Amino acid sequence: MSDPRWSAVDDYIADKLIGEDAVQAATLENNQQAGLPPIDVSQAQGKLLQLLARGVSASRILEIGTLGGYSTIWLARALGEGGQLVTLELDPEYAAVARKNIDNAGLGDVVDIRIGPASETLEAMCAQGEAAFDFIFVDADKENYAAYLDYATRLSRPGTMLVFDNVVREGEVINPQSSDPKVPGTRQLYDALHGNPRIDATAVQTVGSKKWDGFLLALVR
């Protein structure tokens, strides 16, 4: 499901409110040349993530799912002096592309890319007493979204903002018999948040160049 006006409005928003970004244009070009799937957030969504991170004055950001580093760069730009972003990526080849893009953006000194299965990396981070994060963005395998919520909560403090991407899936999230294999994990995320005393959450539907989907936003109490 799509409508050409959705992308046209995204272009209008980017033109009026964001402007040209040669660094991020190069990031997307590098990703395409490397054969990465074109599943990055849109330009408007990237700026939204940056503003949300700035809004909570994030000095430590965790990203689960690096891909080629497009969203990583948007988020790292929100950091003040001395800030750090930790991003987790399963695929070493994707991580190598991301490292090149992040270095090209002049952000190599603030971004720590950790390679391997995210659940294993997160478990190790918890076991080692990793300092709490102020902002956590999750855009990885949807099958493990409920597990990532648990880890994110353990790596948070009161006031930490959590953002999960792709939580509407063109409306399939309300279909328990959906043929989309990513829907069950997404629904488990909603179930894990239903009545959760530690987290205050909502979700918003989005349309645009990324079609019909949405973000789930939450604050840890």
Query: Residue 5: what pLDDT?
Result: 96
Give the Cα separation of 39 and 123 in Å (integer). 26
Strands 111-115, 161-165: pairing kind: unpaired
Phi (first) and psi of residue 195, to 5 degrees: 75, 10
Q: What is the pLDDT of residues 171-181, one digit of tens each?
A: 999 999 999 99
Q: Which domains does the chain have, with CATH numbers?
A: 4-220 (3.40.50.150)
Query: Residue 56: what pLDDT?
Result: 97
Q: What is the pLDDT of residues 104-143, one digit of tens each?
A: 999 999 999 999 999 999 999 999 999 999 999 999 999 9
Q: Which of 115, 105, 113, 106 is nearest to 70 (CA)?
A: 105
Strands 199-208, 161-165: pairing kind: unpaired
| Residue 133 in tokens | 């994060």
Tell me how far CA of residue 95 lies from CA of 90, 134, 138, 200, 207, in angstroms: 8, 23, 16, 32, 28
Query: Residue 2: what pLDDT?
Result: 82
Query: Residue 38: what pLDDT?
Result: 96
Query: Residue 41: what pLDDT?
Result: 97
Q: Which of 10, 36, 41 is nearest to 24 (CA)?
A: 41
Q: 145-154 and 183-193 are packed helices; what angle lies between their axes, rounded to 10 degrees? A: 40
Tell me how far CA of residue 73 lies from CA of 17, 129, 138, 140, 142, in angstroms: 18, 26, 15, 16, 22
Query: Residue 118: what pLDDT?
Result: 98
> Is the C-alpha dihedral spanning 193, 195, 198, 202 positive or negative?
positive
User: Which residues in the chain come in under a pLDDT of 70?
Assistant: none
